[in-house]
A and B are shown apart, each in its own frame.
Chain A
Amino acid sequence: MLNVMNLNIHYDAIVIGAGPAGLTAGIYLSRAKLKTLIINEGIVGGQMVLTHEIANYPGVESISGYQLANIMKKQARTFGCDIRSNVIIKEINLHGEVKSLSLVDGSVYTSNSIILTPGGRSRNLGVPGEDSFKGKGISYCATCDGDFFTGKEIMVVGGGNSALEEAVSLTKYASKVTIVHQFGHFQAFEHAIEEAKNHPKINFIMESSIVAFHGSENLESVDIKHLKTGEIINLKTDGTFVFIGYIPNTEFLIGKVELNQWGEIIVKSDMSTGLEGVYAAGDSVAKRYRQVTTAVGDGTVAALAASNYLHESKANHKKLKAA
């Protein structure tokens, strides 16, 4: 275990999350000469770094998400922004004039404003055996691991565009692909559904979900439960690919800021939450479209609104002192 000295540092603003929204907020805040810290539980760049090619970011013809994230990180640091990544948040207090954040390594940070940009992550099934067979039969990326399953019989879990498109792509390698989906219909585009339905290597198990993975060294079989009848069957399989969507990384905010039924942060048009001095931006906020460009826009608005809040707060303090 790494031993870190306990730190207690005050910032004007703390940004939680280092995806495109958080990095943009960090760039704007630190360029406005506000002492800013970006804290991130994962790696810098968020979901953006997982994108092989970004071809629709204005001003850049084509760039990998990893490279764009590195440029944004460098830009933020150039303006004086502090960045700490791969940390674990222990406690957060968003109320009052001075907010606080403590990490499991003992560091404590305080600030007058906080911008929440925790982003999202791929959803796991969360069933017995999933962790044990990750990389040994269970995968979340067809492009990465598809060739390990050449000539094998596999399953794909999910019913959205990703699941159906990846199932078709996996037929390049696998001899048989079985799609397991919890509903009686798919949530994908019609063309993706048609392509999967017409593919001779693909078949379907509907209204069902995987409830357990089994095997010795590698994955060997799965328990599948029919969600209407409750019947559980065990089927042999060489591999399972899981594509069941994304969830916002907002568990640590439950009960602390207003979230909707999907766990997304509710914000106003200036990205303010219901709490004074607390703003939110990026994929974790309630909105329809999630792109790098929309995250960057959200981050800009949140940073400008937070800057304005901080300047007004300082001006009010001066007035009170003068009075």
Chain B
Amino acid sequence: MLYTNLKHIETATDHAKVISENENVMVICGRMGPMCIPVYGIAEDLENDYKHVKFYDMEFDNPHSQVIRNLPEVKGFMGIPFTIYYKSGKVVKATSSIQTRVQITNILDKEFGVTVNA
């Protein structure tokens, strides 16, 4: 299990449940390394602002993470984390390696709608 402050997905069953029960989901599949940790940190920060999105992580070396590693959308990816954005259970976007806050919020806004914090 990753020691982040995000909610964790530990099994393929959990993964199926999370993406079927929530409309907008972001799953970061990685390790506790320098390319992944900044993405977890950004997601932790965004949890309060993007309440219509559920943020999860999943350990890359967990055998159950094949549900992400075998996705056609990650074919050709050669850098962790693999970050997958699901809408109503379907993959709408996938990114490889470290991302900036702006890159992540652009995807969240485009795929899941703009959030307003009044």
Could you tell me which A residues sit within 8 Å of B by CB distance?
1-5, 42-45, 49-50, 52, 64, 66-67, 70, 85-86, 122, 134-141, 143-145, 148-149, 217-218, 239
Contacts and interface: CB of A to CB of B under 8 A. Distances in A.
Given A145-B79, A149-B78, A135 B96 contact: yes
B41 A85 contact: yes
B35 A86 contact: no
A144 B34 contact: yes
A271 B44 CA distance: 32
Contact of A43 (B37, B109, B117): B37
A27 B115 CA distance: 33
Contact of B37 (A50, A136, A148): A50
Contact of A3 (B34, B45, B78, B116): B116
Interface residues of B, number: 34
B45 A64 contact: no
B97 A134 contact: yes
Interface string B40-51: 011011000100
B3 A52 contact: no
A43 B49 contact: no
A64 B109 CA distance: 33
B38 A42 contact: yes
A50 B40 CA distance: 12
Question: Taking each of B5, B98, B114, which has the highest tally of chain A beta carbons within 10 Å of its own beta carbon?
Answer: B98
A3 B118 contact: yes
B42 A43 contact: yes
B101 interface: yes
B71 to A, nearest CB: 15
A86 B42 contact: yes
A4 B117 contact: yes
B63 to A, nearest CB: 15
A86 B79 CA distance: 22
By Cβ-Cβ distance, the 8 closest A-B pairs, closest first, are: A135-B97, A43-B41, A135-B96, A135-B79, A50-B34, A144-B33, A148-B78, A86-B101
A148 B79 contact: yes
A5 B118 CA distance: 7
Nearest to B75: A217
Given A66-B4, A86-B41, A2 B79 contact: no
A3 B113 CA distance: 13
B72 to A, nearest CB: 13
Contacts of A141: 33-35
14 contacts: A1-B114, A3-B116, A49-B41, A50-B33, A66-B4, A66-B32, A70-B5, A86-B41, A135-B95, A136-B78, A136-B97, A139-B78, A144-B36, A144-B80
Given A50-B34, A139-B97, A43 B45 contact: yes
Interface in B47-64: 49
Contacts of A50: 33-34, 37
A136 B79 contact: yes
A136 B77 contact: yes
A145 B36 contact: no
B10 to A, nearest CB: 19
A134 B98 contact: yes
A67 B32 CA distance: 11
A113 to B, nearest CB: 26
B46 to A, nearest CB: 8
Nearest to A133: B78
A144 B45 contact: no
Contacts of A45: 41
Contacts of B97: 134-136, 139, 145
A310 B118 CA distance: 35
A139 B4 CA distance: 23
Contacts of B3: 64, 66-67
A139 B78 CA distance: 8
B78 A135 contact: yes
